[in-house]
Amino acid sequence: MRYMIAYMLRGEPAHKVRQLSDELADVFRLESQSGKSGPRLTLKAPFETNSERNFEELKAALLKFATGRKPVPVVYDGFGQFDKRVIFVRVLPSPAAVATVTELTKILRALPWIKFTRTDGEKHMHATICYAEKRNHYEEIKKYLAGETVHLEGFIDSVSILGQVGDFRQPWKLLVEFSFADVPVTPLTEPEL
């Protein structure tokens, strides 16, 4: 089974990402990204194990990681792309969010059965809104989004395990979510980078 570690977006950021993904899917006849797993920030790219023991070890590590942790602010701001195919809403992490994701990565790297790739070290937080199946779609989508603006404040306040059975085209299912402590946090107006 394939697994992914993610933060599942909530509130206004989730609504905006879902709305943009669905709109682009309709206009450009693409598969809606929000339907594949729901709006999310991928914190660890997909990896595989068929061991129930490994899955239980992962759950225990994430529970320990999340327990007593405070939500960390992020800002959703503008659009970006990878390889002129993956189009996303940029996520600007606060220093606390960067530290949280760095600590999570350290914990996951301590589990020897989780494989990391070159792209795991090049994390740019983002919320994917569409995958342009053909590169010529990219320019059309870019023009379409030129009139759109996104600037929303939010938090990372949980960590989730998603699972996928079958090939990569299958939808991801939320298996378990670990919420951080309920602590009031003041959102950032602008991220400190």
Reported as type and span, the H/E element at residue 84 is: none
Tell me, yes or no, whether 172 lies in a domain. Answer: no
Number of residues in the chain = 193
Task: Identify the domain containing residue 14 by its residue range.
Answer: 2-166
Amino acid at 181: A
Q: Is residue 193 part of a domain?
A: no
Q: pLDDT tens digits, the chain, 193 residues: what are they? A: 999 999 999 999 999 999 999 999 899 888 766 666 789 999 999 999 999 999 999 999 999 999 999 999 999 999 999 888 889 999 999 999 999 999 999 999 999 999 998 777 666 899 999 888 777 788 899 999 998 999 999 999 999 999 998 877 788 999 999 999 754 444 444 434 3
- Establish if 66 belongs to a structural domain: yes
Q: What is the CATH number of the domain that holds 56?
A: 3.90.1140.10
- Which backbone phi and psi does 37 adopt, to 5 degrees? -160, -10
75: amino acid identity, one letter: V
21 assigned to some structural domain? yes
Smallest CA-to-CA distance from 192 within 69, 91, 77, 92 is with 92
Report yes or no on 187 lying in a domain: no
> Is 188 a domain residue?
no
Number of compact structural domains in the chain: 1
Model pTM score: 0.86
Residue 95 tokens, joined: 């220093």
Answer yes or no: is 180 within a domain: no
Cβ neighbours of 173 (radius 10 Å):
12
- 159 within some domain: yes
